[in-house]
Amino acid sequence: MAQPLWLSHPSSLDHVIPGHPERPERLIGLNRALEASDDFRGWARMESPAATRAQLAAVHTEALIDGVERLCAAGGGAIDMDTACVAATWEAALHAAGGAVALVDALLSGEATAGFSAHRPPGHHAEAGQAMGFCFFDSIAVGAAHALRTVPRVLVLDWDVHHGNGTNAIFHSSPDVLFASIHQSPLYPGTGRASDVGSGAGEGYTVNLPVPPGSGDETYGSLVEHVIAPLARAYEPGLVLVSAGFDAHHADPLASCQVTEAGFEGMTASLKRVCAELGVPLGLVLEGGYSVEALADSVCALLGVLGADEPPPPVSLARHPLAEQALERLGTYFGTTSLA
């Protein structure tokens, strides 16, 4: 019988940059919390495989892949002010991307009813030819590209507090991946303006939803319930994936949003409902979240919803002005009627 699936790998703890906020304790604390969570007891657990070079090359240049491999083989070093690797980073990054691929395979085969790929380093800032922002390979982009071998369309929602510039850029001109990002602005990396809607054949399939500092559950919840859910219905993806960062939490040290554990649970519930309606699976891929306690509490809060056989009933949620503005912009591409 299919179960929700949790993917991880021991190599995630070996990528250690002293003094860096993206540290092994993030997963150590999460693992301790999961062991104490009743909602985690029905989950199947699996060690992720390493991504293959071909899987990475579907979204990254050979120069980037070779460059990261060489730098790690030489013992590591700095790539930019925020991003550095050690020898063990190579295996950790391969398994992070491989976890996203394995998650996609399990969801699309029906082996898993839902899933979570919990690895580090994160991935959504890595562009096709550039590692940056703590990220080496864009794991969720690798997973989405892999999914397109089986389904015609994938929706990727990025709710990390930082804009997922890598995923945005990789699928910028593709109508096959609808990329939507809710992110604090202004904030690193400075991309993700609402006016960025994609390019070429992909125009309209990039949906940037910047929010001001201080935004909390009401803002994030409305954007998912009133914008992302109608988009999913109009787009009809074969799979929904989430770049699940938890640094929009009010306790996170690297940003200024005010989302609570209940907020992350509520966004997951909205996605669970629309995925059930469409008959498509839902998978989350870990990105940021730099308060160890807030990360653990937030993930545990949404486990029951994500892993449940049935979605929770809908709740009454006021439509935020930012959602109204987004729907007006998106009506140009999807039609106002289909998003109503």
Neighbours of 186 (CB within 10 A): 8
The residue behind tokens 């491989």 is 98
Buried b (16+ CB within 10 A) or exposed e, 244-272: bbbbbbbbbebbebbbbbebbbbbbbbbb
Residue 104 host element (H or E): helix 89-109
The closest alpha carbon to 125, from 57, 187, 55, belongs to 187
Sheet containing 239-244: which strands, arranged edge to edge?
44-47, 3-8, 112-117, 282-286, 239-244, 154-158, 177-184, 206-211
Q: Which two tokens stand for residue 123?
A: 């991935």
Torsion on CA atoms 184, 56, 26, 228, rounded to nearest 10:
40
Q: In the beta sheet, which residues pair with residue 258?
A: 216
In whole angstroms, how large is the CA radius of gyration of the chain? 18
Out of 15, 124, 125, 172, the active site residue is 125
Q: How far apart are CA 100 and CA 103, in angstroms?
A: 5
The reply to whether 320 belongs to the active site is no
Please name the amino acid found at residue 138.
D
151, two tokens: 């389904």
Answer yes or no: are the C-beta atoms of 249 and 288 closer than 8 Å: no
Nearest to 303 by CA among 286, 288, 289, 291: 286
Q: How far apart are CA 99 and CA 102, in angstroms?
A: 5
DSSP-derived letter for residue 1 is -
Active site residues: 125
